[in-house]
Structure 1
């Protein structure tokens, strides 16, 4: 999951937040250019019910509830085999999987950024697109059949819509290529994408690979964001 450099929030913005919420926001504080936009961002976070829930339920990020909602709706998390979480940092999705997976399930998380350990997860730090890192992920998977591939990744944004759209679609295609290589028959894929140019072609490709493909926008996904999730069920044999 792409992130930009962090700063700690001004104490005055945190003074009215509950301690658990303050702790979560300090970990997830993201800098924005200009003090005004930073303060507006922080004020929005303090009002966000999913930020409060994440703190109360000891999740590292509000994005945990995106996967949790999808996993409640669809039979995604296998009882056995392996789950691969691409772009895992800070670990919110891995936490959801770790809490729900069966005792015999292996969870492999990969991200360019450092991630604090998630109990039950094997973490590979490095660029998912690098062949050497991909080889380490495959080594961590071992002989376990992969029942689920997750990707909440997004590219670093340039501010140019056409460039950002192309980068996001290329990243999605890389994840689909990986899923095509590792997913066991009947396995599932959950993939973040951005509505726009190229997404119809991506959905067409996925419908040829899976028995069912659904487009979902979980409640924790901000309404103003173009992000959606492709939930791909039942890898065709």
Structure 2
């Protein structure tokens, strides 16, 4: 792309960003990010969080969702936020710095919980994006699977889970995997999402006492990879800075292209 074209796109993005009503509304309301209204709209439609809930915010930086979670959980609630990026202190939030897919970080969270079950998990997590949509979507999907595999066993019976996903291959498999763990699962696009965005939110309610699977070692990540393979895609483990520190993600291509 020519320098002039890049400058034009940058200027257009800046003007749209400046005029964004959700950004202005978030700023005037004291929220750290416009995405706070995405969680608010999920809550208004699905009533995911109740007063007194213990809430885990995965990928909490810069803190907009955690701020909303504190309001929804009330004085008797508890909010734990975790992100690989350090977050400025948020009143009413216990913050952990670390990669949720890293065993050491998971141990820190388990120690902090000390056996207390979680009532609601909210996640607006996104890996570092490369600008190559198919790769970004696949890495993001893999990250969501890893988060679900770790966090869902910590979620109390009847609990809720909401996460951002990007439209593309594998989404239906994630939905099917979620239905094995929850009685109500659907996709939802908040009004606060940008019109140009390919993101949607997977909203899961009423966690089942046990997953609807016979295999005790059931993994959502393995389930999704298997489904993609059955659909004619090959999942390749690839190192990517998008998952930080060279962690493994997967990319997709048609089996016949190998």
For this structure pair, what is the TM-score category when the shorter chain's length is used for normalisation?
0.7 to 0.9
Shift of 1:38: 3.3
Of the three residues 70, 85, 93, the one matched with 2:42 is: 70
**What's 2:166 paired with?**
194
Moved more, 113-122 or 73-82: 73-82
Cα distance in 2, alignment partners of residues 51 and 166 from structure 1: 28
Q: Does 1:118 align with 2:90?
A: yes
Within 5 Å, which residues of 2 pair with 1:1-237? 34-237=6-209
Q: Which SS does the other structure have where 1:162 is aligned?
A: helix
Shift of 1:81: 4.1
Aligned length: 205
**Residues 80-129 of structure 1, C-alpha deviation per residue, up to 9 Å, x if partnerless?**
24110000000000000111213221110001111111110000011111
Shift of 1:142: 2.3
Moved more, 159-168 or 205-214: 159-168
Unaligned runs of 5+ in 2: 210-258
Cα distance in 2, alignment partners of residues 128 and 195 from structure 1: 22
Cα distance in 2, alignment partners of residues 169 and 140 from structure 1: 27
Cα distance in 2, alignment partners of residues 180 and 54 from structure 1: 30
Contact in 2 for aligned 1:179/1:189 (Cα 8 Å) = no
Moved segments of 4+, more than 3 Å: 33-38
Shift of 1:172: 1.0
Q: Which SS does the other structure have where 1:192 is aligned?
A: strand
User: Rg larger in 1 or in 2?
Assistant: 2
Cα distance in 1, alignment partners of residues 84 and 193 from structure 2: 23
Cα distance in 1, alignment partners of residues 45 and 134 from structure 2: 33
Q: Which SS does the other structure have where 1:202 is aligned?
A: helix
**What's 1:10 paired with?**
none
Task: Calculate the aligned-residue CA RMSD, in Å.
Answer: 1.5
Moved more, 200-209 or 136-145: 136-145
What TM-score, normalized to structure 2?
0.76
Unaligned runs of 5+ in 1: 1-32
Q: Which SS does the other structure have where 1:189 is aligned?
A: strand
